[in-house]
Amino acid sequence: MATEKEMYELLGRMLTDGKLRAALLEDPLKATQALGLNLTEEQLAGLRATDLENLAEGLDERLSKYSFSSSRY
């Protein structure tokens, strides 16, 4: 069973890593096992039910609208 922290880290990586996102879309079990994560059936079902591509695209659109040059960080 992956911890809540591990699941959040996985989703964060998925949002920024197109290769990981593609692997998760193709075979979430294989992709998560390759990362050393042991997901429960419930966690896998939640991952499969999430529209990962749409979620990532929405984030990309929001980030592209933000001007990082105006940021102090």
8-62 pLDDT, tens per residue?
Answer: 999 888 888 889 989 998 999 999 999 999 999 999 998 888 877 777 676 666 5
Asked whether residue 59 is assigned to any structural domain, the reply reads: yes
Asked whether residue 71 is assigned to any structural domain, the reply reads: no
| Residue 38 DSSP SS3 | coil
Asked whether residue 42 is assigned to any structural domain, the reply reads: yes
Domain span holding position 43: 4-65
Q: What's the domain count of the chain?
A: 1
Asked whether residue 72 is assigned to any structural domain, the reply reads: no
Q: Which of 14, 37, 12 is nearest to 25 (CA)?
A: 14
Asked whether residue 70 is assigned to any structural domain, the reply reads: no
pLDDT confidence band for 66 (50 / 70 / 90): low
